[in-house]
Amino acid sequence: MRRKIIAGNWKMNKDIHETATLIAELRERMKEFKNEVDVVICPSYTSLVVAKSLIKDSSIKLGAQNMLQHDDGAYTGEVSTKMLTAIGCEYVILGHSERRQYFKETDELINAKIKKALSAGLTPIVCIGETLDEREAGITDKIITTQVNGVLRGLTSSEVEKLLIAYEPVWAIGTGKNATPEQANQVHKLIRKQVGQMYSWAIAEKLIIQYGGSMNAQNASALLSQSDIDGGLIGGASLKADLFMAIVQAGVESSG
């Protein structure tokens, strides 16, 4: 059985003071659980150091929302893997649709970032997903297959074993429209099949595939109890302790 992971992508929200408040609330609520699922928070860069010290001695893990594929040098405004690992970051979200849309990130660039993150010992949470136009044109499967191929190009089996994939249909992000559990599960199965064909079924079976896109306290149980949905990557609902913990609770219950 794959262990579920519930990750909060805080996006460009919460300064260090708000970060401290939210982490205090999360820690309090985490006492209800016995580490049945992995819980990760991904605050903005400016909050990472303070977040790391505030989650000390808890089971909450830390992730960043992006990084650059170069070691160091003249890349104004960017952050390297070394900077992230030095502060104890374990995860990094790569290829989020907002990075693809607003910062023109391509599968090729995301692939380079994944390789760099893995070589630094970070666990990439690799995002893929179709837009509304693509879904309505009936080309979701083609888009997903192309993205899986593109972002994993040249990765070895042992590298693929160390990453997570998040299926985030772009039309469901921040819109309040989530994919139905069946719609999402169908795409998760497709991703698993594709990874199985590229690597092996043993690797595909172990691959953690999270769902992201308007996951909330109401729909989390139904989504997380699907056969191939192994967790959530949560935006809006990760900014409030009660809402995020309701999703963690759903993750615990669906872990059986």
Binding site for ligand 13P (CB under 6 A): 9, 96, 168, 173-174, 212-215, 233-237
| Residue whose CB is less far from ligand 13P, 199 or 226 | 226
- Catalytic status, residue 96: yes
From 98, 105, 130, 168, the catalytic residue: 168
Minimum distance from CB of 93 to ligand 13P (Å)? 7
| Residue whose CB is less far from ligand 13P, 19 or 214 | 214
**Which residue lies nearest ligand 13P, judged by its C-beta?**
235
| Residue whose CB is less far from ligand 13P, 11 or 116 | 11
Minimum distance from CB of 71 to ligand 13P (Å)? 27
Encode the chain in three state secondary structure: CCCCEEEEECCCCCCHHHHHHHHHHHHHHHCCCCCCCEEEEECCHHHHHHHHHHCCCCCEEEEECCCCCCCCCCCCCCCCHHHHHHCCCCEEEECCHHHHHHHCCCHHHHHHHHHHHHHCCCEEEEEECCCHHHHHCCCHHHHHHHHHHHHHCCCCHHHHCCCEEEECCHHHCCCCCCCCHHHHHHHHHHHHHHHHHHCCHHHHHHCCEEECCCCCCCCHHHHHCCCCCCEEEECHHHCCHHHHHHHHHHHHHHCC
- Catalytic status, residue 32: no
Minimum distance from CB of 189 to ligand 13P (Å)? 21
From 96, 98, 105, 188, the catalytic residue: 96
Active site residues: 96, 168
